[in-house]
Amino acid sequence: MVAGWLSRPHVAEWWDTHAPDAVEEEFGPCVDGTDPTRVFVCRLDGTPVGLVQMYRLDDNPDYARAIGLAQAAGMDLFVSDPERCGHGLGPDIILATLELIWAAYPEVTCAMAGPSVRNGRSIRAFEKSGFTAVGPVAVPDEVDEEMVLVRARPTGRTGPTAA
């Protein structure tokens, strides 16, 4: 299912994981627990409608150095059906993922995302979700610069109440 989603043009334009083998390579270790990145299929009333992954930048030091953030967690997402895009589902997924980030990573003080500077729709979805764009950053091995967007942990939200 995820391999099919990744081959859809509206997703493939922004995600570089395409062939079925690459899907196993990219997400298999996350599912097996050998890569600390956490990946989720998002469901709406039981129907799978997208994918989101979240990760601590401290687990990805090269990326953290390029972005210039510490004690932060990043997220990437897509909405699987093009006809579901533009109706607020992306911000719903972003806000739900933020709650997971605050709960799963108690030391993290801010959440971030780094969509391509060309991906105006994604940048707007994060801004609608309370993120602030802090500027474009060049990341090694990425063709486009990334627009770094950040959102601070809400005051008083210090960590998980349940595992």
Ligand X SMILES: CC(C)(COP(=O)(O)OP(=O)(O)OC[C@H]1O[C@@H](n2cnc3c(N)ncnc32)[C@H](O)[C@@H]1OP(=O)(O)O)[C@@H](O)C(=O)NCCC(=O)NCCS
- Minimum CB separation from ligand X for residue 15, in Å? 7
Q: Which is nearer to ligand X, 17 or 71 (CB)?
A: 17
Q: How far is the CB of 75 from ligand X (least distance, A)?
A: 9
- Shortest separation between residue 102's beta carbon and ligand X, angstroms: 20
Three-state secondary structure readout of the chain: CHHHHHCCHHHHCCCCCCCHHHHHHHHHHHHHCCCCCEEEEEEECCEEEEEEEEEEHHHCHHHHHHHCCCCEEEEEEEECCHHHCCCCHHHHHHHHHHHHHHHHCCCCCEEEECCECCCHHHHHHHHHCCCEEEEEECCCCCCCCEEEEEEECCCCCCCCCCC
- Considering the complex, state which of residue 124 and residue 158 has its C-beta at the smaller distance from ligand X: 124
Nearer to ligand X among residue 88 and residue 159 (C-beta): 88
Task: Write out the residues near ligand X by the rule CB under 6 A.
Answer: 10-11, 14, 76-79, 85-91, 115, 119-122, 124-125, 128
